[in-house]
Chain A
């Protein structure tokens, strides 16, 4: 079977997503928001999922959790979690995985906690759902968890409601909840995007420390390559519902193999300043799901596109261990065509 070009062994991965395709029913028919996504997350590892807005990062994350809206569904591919394909797992079984084995935190902590229940209630609920414990035990454990995520004045916070907490504190509660049962995978969908810059750094720090401690692997969704460099071991770059490049963070950021990755790097303020290059926004916009270019999806915006790019979809080229790119220019057997990547960090 073609595994979407990824040659890593699936057996040692916590999560192996294989050629995932997720479709939504819309008024104008079925659309595939995610059409070919394959990547692995190994135990304890942090994998970043990056891409412009609308590239399908959130849909990928929600597909893994079976938390898509009712109009969305997995239309193809596999989601292998701890050795078994959960892409079409029954809801009842999925429920016992959620929270217990795979936990998730979201972008905007200000809307993610129930406004009518105390912090304690919401933390305890997670424990009660998967463990047979008394209320007193749950409270003790909830307090421990809050202290562990560095919540100031944790004991008093147990009995407060989310509207009394700051954004950073809310995200700490979400993290405490997510890591309460030591899941083997934490999916974090842009967990710091909605926070102040200083708080962002604290939350990232916290996530990294806790993940190291608990040994949880993290699938870290972000559109900030700066955060990728700081947080992740490997990076998966998405564009228009496909993975277009992936590899170890250092390699991908240093020598991007896909023009899109290079363009993303060039559009980063910090990066351009560092390398003394002009800050370049990527011209054009992400194609509509209803009007996908049928060959290379990035071709219309690509400075290096040539005739083949608009005719034939590029395959995923394997470029050494854990590294691949979906671009004609990255074909190792045609390296004579290869143009130098535009970024040199």
Chain B
């Protein structure tokens, strides 16, 4: 098990390195440069502009720039933002907690509902409630989360006169306001992950219910509730875990739009803006942070596997 985790960590680091390298070269080859634009607007002379770019290392050979940047990353030095007067690390540290809270809330919501809904659907297979739950999960899967966001914002104010409190409040300052600000985008994000887990749980549960070991439990005289909740549900969660790990990537992508939409000062809304202003250092660093989050979550999934499944724990 430990070996497995170490292996995952190492391959995760390798993946991060590849992401970083890829991003660096791709971003540099995009035409149109924040510095050019800024400097052109600043009214400085051509010579001064070249000097400034020299100071920033932007005229060094690209491989040298890459080496500088890469060695910076190792020291968690991502350089300075090209747009804001702040180091990239400071921006990330300030913004990341909001994104972490939002994604945690969204994952927690989808795990609180998805598997249970899938289990109920499997138990009531073929009944009207199963049909409703299945249609519901297809809808949940197919509506894009930003659309859900828009619908929420529009109809909550239209029908209930409710609007999300303005001015972001941190959780420990005023949890109630913070939750109101977080819950809607979290639901919008949780919908598709929850629906995907529900569907996966349903089909995996149906498969498990047909296995020999479930028949054994039945042959012992256990009632349906015990069969379903204790044995079948636990066994059916194994493939669901993998799915949640993979879906987390999509969920992170969703935070970018939803943070911007709900004016949450997270890393996502910052990236949204950075893309517009071509703030390369920030975009690159943010992408690495997202990559690291994805990898960490998947390592947590592996740990959860070991916790549920003794066969994996032993290996």
Contacts and interface: CB of A to CB of B under 8 A. Distances in A.
Contact of A174 (B216, B231, B310, B311): B216
Interface in A25-73: 65, 67, 69
A114 B234 CA distance: 10
A180 B229 CA distance: 24
Contacts of B222: 95, 125, 129
A1 B302 CA distance: 63
Interface residues of A, number: 29
Interface string B280-311: 00000000000000000000000000001111
B219 A116 contact: no
A318 to B, nearest CB: 34
Q: Is the interface of A mostly helix, strand, loop or mixed?
A: mixed
Contacts of B213: 111-115
Interface string B191-227: 0000000000000000000111111111111110000
B235 interface: yes
A337 B215 CA distance: 48
Contact of B311 (A95, A98, A111, A161): A161
Nearest to A66: B218
Contacts of B234: 116
A126 B221 CA distance: 8
Q: Which of B212, B216, B220 has the most CB of A within 10 A?
A: B220
Q: Which of B217, B231, B234 has the most CB of A within 10 A?
A: B217
A100 B221 CA distance: 8
Contacts of A115: 213, 235, 309-311
Interface stretch (A101-109, A196-204, A253-261): A101-109
Contact of B219 (A99, A108, A117, A161): A99
A304 interface: no
B197 to A, nearest CB: 19
Contacts of B221: 95-100, 126, 129-130
B219 A65 contact: yes
Contacts of B309: 115-116
A163 interface: yes
A104 B314 CA distance: 30
A99 B221 CA distance: 6
Given A161-B310, A161-B311, A163-B310, A114 B219 contact: no
B218 A108 contact: no
Interface string B223-246: 100000001001100000000000
Given A161-B310, A163-B310, A163-B311, A113 B219 contact: no
Nearest to B215: A67
Interface in A152-187: 161, 163-164, 174, 177
Given A116-B308, A161-B310, A111 B218 contact: no
Given A116-B235, A116-B308, A116-B309, A67 B212 contact: no
B219 A95 contact: no
Interface of B: 210-223, 231, 234-235, 308-311, 314
18 contacts: A65-B219, A96-B221, A99-B221, A106-B216, A112-B215, A113-B213, A114-B217, A114-B231, A115-B235, A116-B309, A125-B217, A125-B222, A126-B221, A129-B221, A130-B221, A163-B310, A163-B314, A164-B314
Given A112-B215, A116-B310, 9 more contacts: A67-B219, A99-B219, A111-B212, A115-B213, A116-B231, A116-B235, A117-B231, A125-B217, A129-B220
